[in-house]
Chain A
Amino acid sequence: MKLAFKLAYRNLMGAGLRTWLNVIVLSFSFLIIIWMKGIMTGWDHQAKIDMTNWEIGGGQYWQKDYDPYDPFTFSDSHAPVPAELRGEIDKGDAEAVLIAQGSIYPQGRMQSVIIKGINPGQNIFLLPTQKLDTVISDAIPSVIGSLMAGNLKLAIGDRVMIQWRDRGGTFDAAEIYITDIFYANVPAVDQGQIYIPLEKLRSMMSLEDEATILTYRNAEEGRPGYNGWMNKSKAELTKSVDELIKVKSAGISVFYIILILLAMLAIFDTQVLSIFRRQKEIGTYIALGYTRKEVVGLFTVEGTMYSVLAALLSAVYGMPFLAWQAKVGWTMPMDASQFGMAMAQTLYPVYSAGLVISTVLIIMTVTAIVSYYPSRRIAKMNPTEALRGKAQ
């Protein structure tokens, strides 16, 4: 086997440009696959970090009737904050959020909104809630996201009417004052949502001391359950991201397959051509003491070595590129906020040893198979005809 590697290396180096063309094509495949997988992993990490920072913290308790996908549940999904959690809330390690459905009337239009009451002094989320700690006469201080502001054509300092129904079902209305507009990579905290001070919403709704969601800071396991509340761990809340990435990864693997197929086509062609052009050489190997099976092995090793050389070449120019990308990231040419999913405008690829090793192993295995397949013809070659270059 050692000899096969040595000879394969000599043959490949001796073949010059033909070898390097294959190696370069294959090394591009290595690099692009690792980079794209790195982007997906980076997106996954980033989406989870953004969700943690903007939306879910270390996990949440949901009032048992709360369903974020059914706004009709909002009117009933509130309950007093469990006494056991008060200490955590007082220390700032948990925050209560009350959610109500309402309407907003920008420029005389009407649009449904979710009104979220949140503690202005909280520091679990990156939301600029400190801007709610403002006294404005005859208006409620509020912050909204940039997507919401864009949709409603609202800017900081604008006033706009909102309407809601309190616990008794009575409609009421008031003016809100936009104290800040935030930009977040998580559309779930932005689209169709208005943040106002928690105590203000509680008094508007006549729901003193009640909440819809309780978010805790630390994602420790084995948190206690509270009657009337469902504990949603961080893993459970980010499951949708995992599934989304999984679906996206599956879609992108079609691209990987096309890339690998192109590289493999080049190697397959080279192998077929080699076996046809190098018949005399094959005959000579046999005459000098190789068995036909050993020659098949030599040609397979030779083909597989393309992927070894490609991996080495990729390491030479690819490692600086991948490191640079990890540092500066990849900024998407289109506006990521329009995608409707937790996605930053600039994605930073994350590479792991597992990612690199698995990519290299997969490509090497596929290359070995592609190299072996045409080489099997050698096993059927008549050595005397091969020596004369007349084998069929």
Chain B
Amino acid sequence: MENSTIIRIEKLVKKFPMGKGEFTALNGIDLTVGRGEFAGLIGPSGSGKTTLLNVVGSLDVPSSGSVTVLDHSIGELSAKEAALLRKQNLGFIFQSYNLFAVHTVYENIEFPLLLLKYGPAERKKMVLEAIEWLGLTDKIRSKPPQLSGGECQRVAIARAMVKKPSLVLADEPTANLDAANSHNILKTMEVLNRELKTTFLFATHDEKVISYLRRKIFLADGKVINDERVTS
């Protein structure tokens, strides 16, 4: 499974307008990520990690080059097709959780299933299953402002995982967490990766996250400078 390619990036360039000129955030990236990988984009701020994650997540488009995710060429997708790809196949985990503050834990996790039009019974089963994976059973009726940072991130993971996506993109998922919570979260994601065979792609510069990765892709100035696989 790990060998079948889920992300293929060729000569990716991403530029942003800046003042009268342009800023090149990604400068000729070539990369492939296989199914079931637990990989991370590692680099300092401004190295292009988040930009690359956004393009892979079809939230942004390449300026040139090609990005193919699950056989969909990101640059050629319409807004509707890109939304469909995200809805069906991608899960997102953000640094600041991005939970819906006025929804309960249950409703937050249920949201992707509502978009996918699952029936009420199936939705309930899947949400409760995700809540159980993440150990949130006693927080089911709580709202995000009532939760700790670690609990919020667990809800965000549950929301990303509930539909069992092929690929989860996690942008600095432990940046707002203490060490203990970070390890808990990472262990959880590692277990989900192993058990559900979900591909995880992180953007991080956190040593704690890096220590869990089985593949480390180092970026600097919009380029891949090193690509290491950890053999355990």
Contact = CB atoms under 8 A, between A and B. Distances in A.
A377 interface: no
Interface stretch (B31-39, B95-103, B178-186, B188-196): B95-103
Given A284-B98, A287-B92, A291-B80, A10 B103 contact: yes
A10 B102 contact: yes
A37 interface: no
The 6 closest A-B pairs by CB, nearest first: A14-B102, A289-B87, A284-B98, A291-B83, A287-B92, A289-B86
A288 B111 contact: yes
Interface in B77-133: 79-80, 83-84, 86-88, 92, 94, 96, 98, 100-103, 107, 111-112, 114-117
Output the residue of B60, B111, B116 with the most chain A CB within 10 A. B111
Output the residue of A11, A286, A287 with the most chain B CB within 10 A. A287
B96 A288 contact: no
A387 B84 CA distance: 18
Report the interface size class on chain B: 20 to 34
Interface string B51-85: 00010010110000000000000000001100110
Contact of A383 (B59, B100, B101): B59
A289 B103 contact: no
Contacts of A291: 79-80, 83
B100 A289 contact: no
Interface string A287-320: 1111111100000000000000000000000000
Interface in B114-155: 114-117, 143
B115 A288 contact: yes
Give the interface SS of chain A, mostly helix, strand, loop or mixed: helix
Output the residue of B60, B94, B98 with the most chain A CB within 10 A. B98
20 contacts: A3-B114, A3-B117, A7-B114, A14-B100, A14-B101, A14-B102, A14-B103, A281-B98, A281-B100, A283-B98, A284-B98, A286-B59, A286-B86, A287-B86, A288-B115, A289-B112, A289-B116, A293-B79, A384-B54, A387-B98
B100 A284 contact: yes
A15 B117 CA distance: 25
Nearest to B79: A291
Contacts of B107: 10
